[in-house]
């Protein structure tokens, strides 16, 4: 299945845990190791049932005004299939890559001005970097050509819900609709639903969200352990300093399309990662699958 993801429209350019706002906050979320993924366009297998995986309570990264550490939740890379709790099949949440990872996964919420997204893709190409884009469905609906542009550039494309609502406040039925509607659009545009799903409006998936993800065919819910809060538009210097000050091998970084500061910071971020011998790779490559 395709493994790239993107965010929808300016109203969602903020990302999973926040509505689109501008505040000077920054947060980093160290977490424990998790599993991997590869960039393909094959259909996602139906989730199987194994053992239960814990998930932390939802948190709102936008509400933080100082750097914050995430709860150390992660999935064991050796158990890639969804787990079953009380007879309910749920997806596994991934916060950090495996302990053996040598790279870093830059993940982007796909939304905002396509021109800025194209500039960012050019910066990634110049550094031979691969990333994972989690796209908002409404953004892809408005800019359908961006789906294949992301994949053709060698990146992964995934699901960040259709309307980018605050998922912990939704019913299970609405969770299903939000995930499946975006998945169907990804399949229509690319031939694949994508391997990765990231919930909207929360930094951590609730059990209800994990169950909805599994019902939609996603084996993992993708979280992150580093968040430079680029959606608050703090400027390229702050974004670069926050990210490079927190990233380590196996980190999953949350960033956003649609923000000029992110585009301006990207060459320095990639150079800083290279100096530390940390390659920017897709989630699937980091997870070794």
pLDDT < 50 stretches in the chain = 1-16, 19-81, 84-87
Q: What is the CA radius of gyration of the chain?
A: 16
Q: For the segment 35-44, what is each residue's pLDDT rounded down to a tens digit?
A: 333 333 333 3
* Beta strand extents in 127-166 (DSSP E only): 132-135, 156-159
Output the average pLDDT for the chain. 79
Confirm whether pTM is higher than 0.85. no
Residues 6+ apart with CB under 8 A from 164: 7, 8, 9, 11, 12, 111, 136, 138, 200, 201
* Domains of the chain and any CATH numbers: 10-38+74-287 (3.20.20.370)
Chain Cα centroid distance, residue 10? 17
User: 3-state class of 255 per DSSP?
Assistant: strand
pLDDT in tens, 121-180: 999 999 999 999 999 999 999 999 999 999 999 999 999 999 999 999 999 999 999 999
């Amino acid at each position: 299945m395709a493994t790239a993801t993107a965010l929808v429209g300016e109203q969602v350019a903020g990302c999973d845990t926040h509505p689109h706002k501008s505040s000077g906050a920054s947060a980093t979320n160290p977490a424990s190791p998790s599993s991997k993924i590869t960039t393909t366009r094959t259909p996602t297998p139906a989730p199987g049932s194994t053992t239960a995986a814990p998930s932390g309570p939802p948190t709102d990264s936008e509400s933080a005004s100082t750097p914050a550490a995430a709860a150390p939740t992660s999935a064991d890379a050796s158990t890639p299939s969804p787990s079953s709790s009380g007879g309910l099949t749920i997806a596994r949440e991934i916060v950090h890559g495996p302990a053996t990872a040598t790279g870093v996964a830059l993940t982007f919420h796909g939304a905002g001005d396509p021109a800025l997204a194209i500039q960012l893709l050019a910066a990634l190409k110049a550094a031979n970097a691969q990333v994972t884009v989690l796209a908002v469905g409404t953004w892809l609906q408005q800019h359908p050509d961006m789906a294949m542009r992301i994949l053709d550039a060698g990146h992964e494309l995934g699901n960040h819900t259709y309307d980018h609502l605050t998922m912990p406040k939704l019913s299970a039925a609405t969770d299903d609709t939000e995930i499946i509607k975006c998945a169907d659009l990804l399949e229509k545009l690319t031939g694949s639903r994508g391997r990765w799903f990231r919930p909207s409006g929360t930094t951590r998936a609730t059990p209800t969200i994990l169950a909805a993800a599994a019902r939609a065919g996603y084996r993992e819910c993708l979280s992150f352990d580093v968040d430079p809060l680029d959606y608050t538009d703090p400027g390229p210097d702050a974004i670069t300093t926050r990210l490079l000050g927190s990233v380590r091998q196996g980190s999953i970084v949350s960033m956003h399309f649609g923000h000029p500061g992110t585009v301006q910071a990207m060459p320095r971020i990639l150079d800083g990662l290279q100096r530390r011998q940390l390659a920017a790779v897709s989630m699937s490559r980091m997870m070794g699958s």
